Structures are given as structure tokens and as C-alpha cells.
Amino acid sequence: MIVGIIGSGGREHALCESLKKSNKITKIYCFPGNAGTSVIAENIEINLDDFENLKNFILEKKIEIIIIGPEKPLVNGLTDYLEKNGIKVFGPNKIASQLEGSKIFTKKVCEKYSIPTAKFGVYSKNVDACSFIKNCKHPIVVKADGLAAGKGVYICETIEQSKKAIEEIFNGKFGKANQILIEEFLQGEEMSFFIISDGKSFKKFGTAQDHKRVLEGDKGKNTGGMGAYSPSRLENKILDQKITEKIIKPTLKALAEMQTSFSGFLYAGLMIVKDEPYLIEYNVRMGDPECQTILPRLKTDLMDIINAIINKKLDSIKLEWYNEKSLCIVLCAKGYPEKYKNNVEIKNLEQVELNKNQFIFHAGTKINNSKIISNGGRVLNFVVKSNNFNQCRESAISLINQINWDNGFFRKDIGFKVID
């Protein structure tokens, strides 16, 4: 079987690594991929906004299944376009992808179907939003409505910070903004909860804890994710049942009543407040870097799962997992999530020796004149499986210290809530 993976990050490298273990796959293409995926797959430089050109390449190369990694092509309707042209796709359609494409869409679903979430208001004018926050108890949360690569969320401690956040969003920091979302701040602990669905049934697909803030101690600006561990320390059967009954099932019911369904990975970003789950946001794909911690723990053939979902036979698959825990540390370019340098050579990377429980996933790299160079803010993911999180973190830091890249930085406290 020939498969194609859309995307260029650590998540897509992890998908490649997991899929290459399947004896059902003969070749993998990656669009556009990175320096890491090039070892496993054939990287293809192609404009992902040019659906027709992409379709023609897929048909020409007889690629049987396309797996879409990132959110933008999903929200833009790539699944719908390819399926109309007879190509099998793993990933939700355009309507279902609005769960991530518009935070306001998701909030309205929550409101209609009584899904627990933070209280909120929607504003279309800067002056109205600024007037509203004057009477708000701070901290509050200010969010851009559309896609923002994980960075369009501001936790504001003061009215001044709130005003600045509102102005930045309406001034186009994350693209054109017609509306803005203002939420109450929920005090609790975050949890990433994943399911897979074929549109008829669904199964839990693991939990994780992301670390969004750029600085140690969960300080500083929001990022796409500085590291993660899996499983979440909050995971238990009672909480799983609450999440399933109060959040997942009503969401899938909402989509069904819109005459659509959800097929693919669905990631619920939750806040757990006094043992009760509240939906913060949905992502309609695997999280990044959570994917890099979850897939190494998966024992079941990922290609079997994807095939079952595409053929609407998820019920026929039993998911099996390794017992080990896993932890990921993201090595970033200095300056991230603001301005940073690209095209800086990363030395010694190919000399790092990995055992079967250690992984280096490329997130923002490319090859130039046979050298691996940086090509993004989040550059490399160091993932380790072990029986305890402390060993995972120590081993991951040891791997990072073996490479030679002066332009990088990372958080040394990933997993601090589960490591004494």
C-alpha cells in the first residue's frame, strides 16, 4: 500500500515513524515533510493550497490513502476535495473541522448542547470588547476566533493586558479578525484527551499533558507546545466517563444533527476543575507535541486503525498500548515564539545513538547541501519511553546535550507536575 502524509512537523515525522512499522505499507510520501521524514518517506515540495496539483500528483503516483496531519488543510476543505475525486482520506471534512477552525463555532455548539465550558462573550468591535472587560474580574482569557498555530490565546491578569490582547487580534496579528472571544478564566489543571472516530463509533486514543508556556514554571507567552507527557496524571475511569458522556458524545451528536459526522483524530483540550471536565478547545487532528508522546506507546498497527476508520469498521479494531510512560521535550530556536533565525546548521545530530525507547522527531528542519538546518521555531522533539517520567526527562535532556546547536533552547522542567 502506498500512503501520503500531509505536513512538515514533529507530528508528521511521528506518524511516518509509526506507519513504517506496518508490513502493509510499501511506500510513504510526505508533503512537504522535513529532514527527519526524508529518511523514511519521499518528501515532495508542493503547494498545499493548490488542491488540484496535489490531487493530480496523488493520482499519478497511485497513492491509496492520504493522511492529513495539520489543521489548516482540514479547515480549508482538503478532505472534501480529495474524496470528491475518489481519493481515500484520513481526516475530518470541512464542516466538522470548524470545531477547530472557529472557536466561536465550538462555543455555540457547547451552548446548544450543554457541554461544560468557560462562560464567554463574542465581540465584533474593539470598542465593545474593551468596554466589556472594564467590568470583568481578572484574570480573563482573550482568544482569536480562527487558526493561530496555538498562539492566539491570551491569559490577561489586568485590564491593560486585556486591551492590548484585543487590539493585537483586531489589528490582524493572527489574520483578519471579524470577531473575538472573551472567556472566564478557569482555575484547574489542563488535560489533552484524544479519540478516534469513523463517523459511526469512536474509541479513546490516549491522554497527555501539554506545556504551552515558553518559560519554565509555565511562565511567559503561549506557544505551539514546549513538551508533553503521556498519559496524563489525571486519567482515571470516572473522569474518562464524565468526559465521554458530557463532552465527546454531545459534540458528535451536534455534528450528526448538522447532517455530517467526524472521522479521524479528535483532540479535546480540557480544564479539570475539582474533578469535573470543562472543554477549552477542540483540535481536529493529533496534537503536536502530544502525538509524539502517544504514538510510541501504541502497540496496535496504526495502518490497521486508519484502514478501519476509512472503511467505517472501527468497532473491529482492538487498541493495545505499551505500559511505559513517555515524555517529549521540544528544542526551539532562540527567540521563539517571536522572531527567530532559520537556516542554522544543527551538528552532531546524526551521531546521536538511540535505543528502542528513544526517538528524535524533526519538527522544523530541512536538508541543505547535505547539512541539517533549522527551518522553524520548534525544531526537534526528543521523546523517551520509560517506566517513570523522571527517567524519561533525564534521558531526553541527555540526548539534547549530545547535539551541537548554539541557537536552541528548551524547558528543563517538562513533566514537573509528575516529577518530584
Would you list the DSSP string of 350-387? GG----TTEEEEESSEEEETTEEEE-SSEEEEEEEEES
Alpha-carbon Rg for the chain, nearest whole angstrom, is: 21
The residue with cell 510526505 is: 30
Q: Which fold has domain 119-184?
A: Dna Ligase; domain 1 (3.30.1490)
Question: 24 — phi, psi (to 5°)?
Answer: -90, -10
Mutual angle of helices 302-310 and 10-19, in 10-degree steps: 100
Q: Which of 35, 31, 30, 91 lies closest to 286 in space, CA to CA?
A: 91
Identify residue 32 by its one-letter amino acid code.
P
Question: 373 — phi, psi (to 5°)?
Answer: -125, 160
Q: What percent of the chain has pLDDT over 70?
A: 99
* Structure confidence at residue 148 (pLDDT): 66
Query: Is the pLDDT score of 122 beyond 90?
Result: no
Strands 140-144 and 180-184, how do they pair? antiparallel
Q: What's the pLDDT tens digit per position in 379-391?
A: 999 999 999 999 9
CATH of 2-92, one of 3.40.50.20, 3.90.76.10, 3.90.550.10, 3.20.80.10: 3.40.50.20
* Structure confidence at residue 178 (pLDDT): 79
* CA-to-CA separations, 312 to 95, 177, 318, in angstroms, rounded: 19, 37, 14
131-137, long-range: CB < 8 A, 24+ apart? 132/182, 133/159, 133/162, 133/163, 133/166, 133/182, 134/159, 136/162, 136/182
Q: Taking the domain 325-409, which CATH number applies?
A: 3.90.600.10
Q: What's the pLDDT tens digit per position in 335-362?
A: 999 999 999 999 999 899 999 999 999 9
H helices of 244-340, in order, are 249-257, 290-294, 302-310
Q: Which of 120, 93, 124 lies closest to 109 in space, CA to CA?
A: 120
End-to-end alpha carbon distance in the chain: 46
Query: Is the pLDDT score of 157 beyond 90?
Result: no
CATH architecture for residues 189-316: 2-Layer Sandwich (3.30)
For residues 415 and 230, what is the distance between their CA atoms, to the nearest angstrom? 9
* Average pLDDT for 73-98: 97
Q: What's the pLDDT tens digit per position in 389-414?
A: 999 999 999 999 999 999 999 999 99
Q: Which of 287, 283, 116, 278 lies closest to 209 in space, CA to CA?
A: 287
For residues 405 and 420, what is the distance between their CA atoms, to the nearest angstrom? 29
Q: What's the pLDDT tens digit per position in 207-261?
A: 999 999 999 999 998 898 999 999 999 999 999 999 999 999 999 999 999 999 9
For residues 29 and 20, what is the distance between their CA atoms, to the nearest angstrom? 11
With vertex at residue 374, the alpha carbon angle to CA 5 and CA 171, rounded to the nearest 5 degrees, is 85
For residues 115 and 315, what is the distance between their CA atoms, to the nearest angstrom? 26
For residues 363 and 12, what is the distance between their CA atoms, to the nearest angstrom? 8
Identify residue 314 by its one-letter amino acid code.
L
Mean pLDDT of the chain: 93
For residues 379 and 42, what is the distance between their CA atoms, to the nearest angstrom? 20
* Residue ranges of domains in the chain: 2-92, 119-184, 189-316, 325-409
Q: What's the pLDDT tens digit per position in 285-317?
A: 999 999 999 999 999 999 999 999 999 999 999
